[in-house]
Amino acid sequence: MNVRRLIPTTAVTGAVVLGLTALSACSTSDAADGGDGDKLKVTASFYPMQFLTERIGGEHVAVTSLTKPGVEPHDLELTPRQIGSISESDYVLYLKGIQPAVDDAIKQSGVKNTVDAATLTTLENHGSEVSGHDHGHEGEEKHADEHADEHADEHGHEEEAPEAPEEHSEGDGHNHGEEGGADPHIWLDPVKYAEVAKGVGKSLEKADPDHAADYKKNTDALVAELGELNTAYETGLKNTSTTTFITTHSAFGYLAERYGLTQQGIAGIDPEAEPSPARIQEIHTIAEKEKATTVFFETLASDRTAKTLAKDTGLKTGVLDPLEGITDKSQGADYIEVMESNLAALRKALGAK
């Protein structure tokens, strides 16, 4: 893990229209005929984007993820072959601000059908302590649907001018959940992830209109499944002994906010960073006051920090997976299964009744 996690971005919530070199008279259906037979050649930046394109695209897409299983996505460096493969894609789905190397390569790729998942929902700022208070989620879904329609329309035309970026104060950008930056971990909230799924579905319909009906059907099925997952979280976390959980990776801000929980991050952005003696004492005090029982670590990072803190505070350790990649160590084969495992881990740690 390294300082590349602190990646400044501008207008991370603004609609992004990429097309630095207009792809002349090739129609969107022609694009679908390239590459892998008649399949749409799709590039996804990392696992949460891969899952969406595979589930929504179904048999009509051939999906390649730039981030291989077991690779920490924030620190990804692309090979020349990978950079070339982006340019050859018919459709690219990524999340701006997570992977700087990917962002740079996509800017230079000239791919017409390029979608930034951050434009399909509303991003918020979360610090290492995130409380589950209501910050106006009502109406968010409607907003995201409208935004998705606009975004999909933009990608359906050549040489559209990008929207003017929103104004941001100096230093505003991706600080991976730190105060003053937009938290990118939208996929860990099933409701926000469903909003993104709807936007991806609409954009795939425009990129490959011959199979639009199937994309819509697959999107509706996935959104329904995410709705069931949301209900399971709401029900499963409704009555707990404590609402505070401690994690080495401050990735669960949206999840905490959605379900009325409080995330206490040990060291902010870096799950492997050693906590200071002062922070260990602070966490110990918080754990006693809030009756927290468990320090969570993630599958793609060392458990050293969690074990150190647990030993010093008398707490247990457990896995809460931020779902940035699936490996043989993951508690499930895909997004849905791992999220169900996360729910079980949270219920145990929070003393769900």
Per mean pLDDT, which range of 13-17, 45-49, 224-228, 337-341 is the poorest?
A: 13-17
Whether 283 shows a pLDDT value over 90: the answer reads no
- The answer for residues whose C-beta is within 8 angstroms of residue 127's C-beta and 6 or more apart is 177, 178, 179, 250, 265
How much is the CA Rg of the chain, to the nearest whole Å? 20
- In this structure, the number of other CB atoms found within 10 A of the CB of residue 179 comes to 11
Query: What pLDDT, in 10s, does the model give residues 18-33?
Result: 333 333 233 333 344 4
pLDDT of residue 127: 61
Residue 162 has pLDDT above 70, yes or no: no
For the stretch 178-216, pLDDT in tens is 444 789 999 999 999 999 999 999 999 999 999 999 999
pLDDT: which is higher, 132 or 40: 40
| pLDDT band, residue 167 (cuts 50/70/90) | very low
**Between residues 309 and 238, the one the model is more confident about:** 238
Provide the whole-model pTM. Answer: 0.77
pLDDT at 29 (0 to 100): 36
280 vs 298: CA distance, rounded Å: 19
Q: State the Cα–Cα distance between residues 290 and 277, nearest whole angstrom.
A: 20
Check whether 301 has a pLDDT greater than 90.
Answer: no
DSSP-based three-state secondary structure for 41: strand
**19 Rama class: left (phi>0) / alpha (psi -120 to 50) / beta:** left
Question: What local confidence, expressed as pLDDT, does residue 74 receive?
Answer: 84
Please choose, from the candidates 68, 77, 66, 111, the residue with its C-alpha nearest in 3D space to the C-alpha of residue 92. 111
Residues 6+ apart with CB under 8 A from 172: 8, 10, 180, 181, 182
Which band of pLDDT confidence, cut at 50, 70 and 90, is reported for residue 309? confident
| Residue carrying structure tokens 């505003």 | 172
| 45-57 per-position pLDDT tens digit | 999 999 999 999 9
CA dist 23 and 234 (Å) reads: 46
Q: Exposed, middle or buried, 160 (CB in 10 Å: 0-12/13-18/19+)?
A: middle
Identify the pLDDT of residue 348: 97
Looking from the CA of 169 toward its CB, the CA atoms found within 13 Å total 4
Compute CA 266 distance to the chain's CA centroid, rounded to the nearest angstrom. 21
The pLDDT tens digits of the residues spanning 104-147 come to 999 999 999 999 999 999 999 886 565 554 433 333 444 444 44
* Residue 4 structure tokens: 């590349």
CA separation for the pair 30, 310 (Å, rounded): 57
* Nearest Cα residue to 243 out of 319, 133, 329: 133
pLDDT at 157 over 60: no
Task: Indicate the average pLDDT of the chain.
Answer: 79
DSSP 171: T
Residue 223's pLDDT band (cuts 50, 70, 90): very high
Q: What is the DSSP string of 94-122?
A: E-TTT-HHHHHHHHHH--SSEEEGGGGS-
Q: Which helix (H) or strand (E) holds 125?
A: strand 124-125
Query: Most confidently modeled of 50-54, 98-102, 137-141, 278-282?
Result: 50-54
